[in-house]
Amino acid sequence: MSTTKLHELQKLGQSIWLDFISRKLMDSGELDKLIKEGLRGMTSNPTIFEQSISKSSEYDRDIQQGIASGWDAKAIYESLAIADIRRAADALRVVFDESGEADGFVSLEVAPALAHDTAGTMQEARRLWKSVDRPNLMIKVPGTKEGVPAIRTLLSEGLNINITLLFSLEQYREVIEAYMQSLEIRLAAGQNLSQVSSVASFFISRVDNVADKQLSEKNHPELASKAAIANACEAYRLYLDSIATERWKKVKASGARVQRPLWASTSTKNPAYSDILYVQELIAKDTVNTLPPVTLDAFKDHGRLEEGLLRNLKSSRQTLQAIADAGVDINKITFDLIEDGVKKFAESFAQLLGAIEKKLTAEQG
């Protein structure tokens, strides 16, 4: 197959992952095709599984088998999710191996109800890690106050962790510190640092959803669509600062991998904006962008190959200052979005279990 835009993005230092998973994607051969085109990984979340499982008949037979085995809705969901994650991980194993274990990951999230439960998060993350049993698995753990200590411990134990639901810069500082501490713990114990991988997932479009509304109310339409990209640029600045420290250089010399920023929620919600706004403007070295299928198709069709983030980084501080001067508090917006994100994933998870419960009840009836 000829060189594609995804291959060219990889040359610029950015990996494209797919923010979607379904059996149809794998059964049809579409996933294998995307991997050949340069796809470097996949992410999932409760909303994605809710859409895949509850809105198709592809899983009905396995659900019926779970019912026959006497499983409850959560056990049935996990069996379906784990089977899909394993298949996707096996398909992406070629990327994992060829990249020297830098890419080729598939992410599976702990239950959203555990977002504020440190011990519960660690217990479930370990259980899922063992159940999936694939070296290119990443366990997704929310970057909440209670999630950060769990992240540090799990990484120090050698689990690959995707820190999800990041919005605020303060949140990200804590995540960077947790990753650094986990590597130092492993170094002190004489453990292999290169076997641990992590990404820090910053959610993008949701910031603009809230900020744009407030800017409109304050009569500053010229700043619309600016907040999310500027916030992401400042996160990237924190990343660059972190890998310039002597502390980082010490663990890097012992084999540590960078914890790449990952841009999530990058589909454009406002139809007035470009459908690839949050892809085009956030291309940079050592980053990942996880795209839903429609956004991936759009970028393949009309995306441009240029490092947009570094251009935006030159003015991101001024942009955020202008937004603050307009009376919009980005710090408050991003802080509030953390809990909103946890709530939305919990709702999707409840809807998913509810759909399975309906099938369970109908079968038993």
Q: In the Cβ-directed half-sphere of 307, how many Cα atoms lie within 13 Å?
A: 15
Q: What is the value of pTM for the model shown?
A: 0.96
- The answer, yes or no, to whether residue 165 has pLDDT greater than 60, is yes
Q: Residue 364: what pLDDT?
A: 62
Q: 284-293 pLDDT, tens per residue?
A: 999 999 999 9
Residue 251: band (very low, low, confident or very high) from pLDDT cuts 50, 70, 90: very high
d(CA 82, CA 78): 6
Binned at pLDDT 50, 70 and 90, residue 55 comes out as confident
How is residue 238 written in tokens? 């924190």
Q: Where are the domains of the chain?
A: 5-358
Q: Which pLDDT score is estimated for 363? A: 64
Does the structure show a pLDDT above 80 at 319?
Answer: yes
Give the per-residue pLDDT at 359.
Answer: 75
When pLDDT is cut at 50, 70 and 90, the band that residue 190 belongs to is very high
User: What pLDDT is stored for residue 141 in this prediction?
Assistant: 98
Judge whether 250 counts as a catalytic residue: no
pLDDT at 57: 84
pLDDT of the residue at 111: 93
**Given a cut of 90, is residue 335 above it in pLDDT?**
yes
Give the pLDDT confidence of 143-156 residue by residue, as tens digits: 999 999 999 999 99
Under CATH, which number does the domain 5-358 receive? 3.20.20.70
Percent of the chain with pLDDT strictly greater than 90: 86
Please give the pLDDT value at position 292: 96
- Give pLDDT tens digits for 12-40: 999 999 999 999 999 999 999 999 999 99
- Average confidence score pLDDT of the chain: 95
Residue 69 has pLDDT above 60, yes or no: yes
Question: What integer pLDDT is reported at residue 229 of this predicted model?
Answer: 98
Q: The tokens of 99 are what?
A: 């990249």
Q: What is the mean pLDDT of the segment spanning 60-79?
A: 90
Q: Which of 33, 74, 140, 314 is catalytic?
A: 140
Kindly state the percentage of the chain with pLDDT values over 70. Answer: 99
The residue that leads in pLDDT, 64 or 35, is: 35
Q: With a cut of 70, say whether residue 365 has pLDDT above it.
A: no
